[in-house]
Amino acid sequence: MPELPEVEVLRRQLRRALGDARLADMRIYERRLRFPLSEGFADTALTRDRRGTPRLEDIRRRGKYLLFHLSGGRVLLCHLGMSGQLLLEDSSQLEPRRHCHEHLAFLFRRRDRRGGSRTRTVRLGFRDTRRFGFWDIARADELSEHPRLRGLGMEPFDAGFGGSFLVGAFAGRRVSVKSALLDQRIVAGVGNIYASEALFRARISPMVCAGDLTARRCGRLAAGIVSVLEDAIAAGGSTRRDYVHSDGGGGYFQHRWSVYGREGEPCPGCRCRLAETGGIQKSLQSGRSTFYCPARQRR
């Protein structure tokens, strides 16, 4: 499942590829996504501005949501769910449907980088085999009140994010710190993989009660979250399956995680002895697997 770094890497690729293109056309092949696509989705998205079809003004991210800002104050929201993929190709043909799990396709037209009056068309397809992903359209000035975005917590790269934010957010919470990190209402965009990795960097056991963390440990945890996300973005995102670059180029650079998926292995940069600790441990917390070093990560 893509987490914040994967979505951020995708956002940057899309922005590079699409620039300030105009949304020329689109097709809907399947409306039954995680939530059914709204009736007026295509018509609203394609509403022309004074100069023609809507211009892509920016692509932003909130948590794991991609936000395509169009001229005229409309925003396309995209969530990739478990297995959503966005694939770009140089093509002026929307039809035919490229894949039996392709649900939406968009045609963008942009000025050619070589200049002049030449244009280039790019087709963006949305595939999702499991259909846990979805799209919606909203007005830009109502975006923060959108039902899917309204409850989202702090962005880890916001200036206000840090140890003191976590101290306040965790205060009185009688759940494990791992569960608290997965709660999108506290911190947006951190999922199972990066929560485990951040706790490892911060040397905090995932089982510690969130409300019991000292300010000092919250400071380490905030730094761990930011550094692990930054490293993953720098590595081009990381993934286990069902996910490809937006250019369809065949998958992510395989970022090497320190603890995630490495049960029984020695942990990197740790002085713990494999014979004594048994290496990296795996346990289930609220049905999600958690990986940690029992020696380095203290309760």
Distance CA 64, CA 80 (A): 8
Q: Is 266 a catalytic residue?
A: no
**Distances from the Cα of 114 to the Cα of 18, 20, 49, 111, 121, angstroms:** 15, 15, 26, 8, 14
Token pair of 264 as six digits? 């029984």
Q: Is 271 a catalytic residue?
A: no
Which of 68, 222, 211 lies closest to 159, judged by CA?
A: 222
Q: Is 282 a catalytic residue?
A: no
Residues touching Zn ion: how many (CB under 5 A)? Answer: 6
Which CB, 67 or 208, lies closer to Zn ion? 208
Which CB, 123 or 296, lies closer to Zn ion? 296
Termini Cα distance of the chain: 28
Which range touches Zn ion (CB under 5 A), out of 59-67, 234-242, 248-256, 271-279?
271-279
Q: Is 3 a catalytic residue?
A: yes
Q: Which of 228, 270, 281, 285 binds Zn ion (CB under 5 A)?
A: 270
Q: How far is the CB of 177 from Zn ion (least distance, A)?
A: 18
Residue 296, interface with Zn ion (CB under 5 A)?
yes
What mask of x and - would describe binding to Zn ion in positions 208 to 247, judged by CB under 5 A?
----------------------------------------
Name the phi and psi angles at 169, rounded to 5: -70, -30
Which range touches Zn ion (CB under 5 A), out of 41-49, 124-132, 196-204, 287-295?
287-295
Which of 232, 222, 271 lies closest to 4, judged by CA?
A: 232
Q: Which of 196, 213, 267, 285 binds Zn ion (CB under 5 A)?
A: 267
Q: Which of 169, 180, 204, 293 binds Zn ion (CB under 5 A)?
A: 293
Which amino acid is it at 246?
S
Q: How far is the CB of 144 from Zn ion (least distance, A)?
A: 42
Residue 263, interface with Zn ion (CB under 5 A)?
no
Residue of 62, 64, 123, 296 marked active site: 64
Q: Judging by beta carbons within 10 Å of its beta carbon (0-12, 13-18, 19+), is residue 140 exposed, middle or buried?
A: middle
Which range touches Zn ion (CB under 5 A), out of 85-93, 135-143, 257-265, 270-278?
270-278
**Distances from the Cα of 273 to the Cα of 11, 267, 268, 289, angstroms:** 41, 9, 12, 23
Q: Which of 31, 272, 288, 289 binds Zn ion (CB under 5 A)?
A: 272
Residue 204, interface with Zn ion (CB under 5 A)?
no
Which range touches Zn ion (CB under 5 A), out of 96-104, 159-167, 252-260, 262-270?
262-270
Which residue numbers are catalytic? 2-3, 64, 288
**Interface residues toward Zn ion, by CB under 5 A:** 267, 270, 272, 293, 295-296
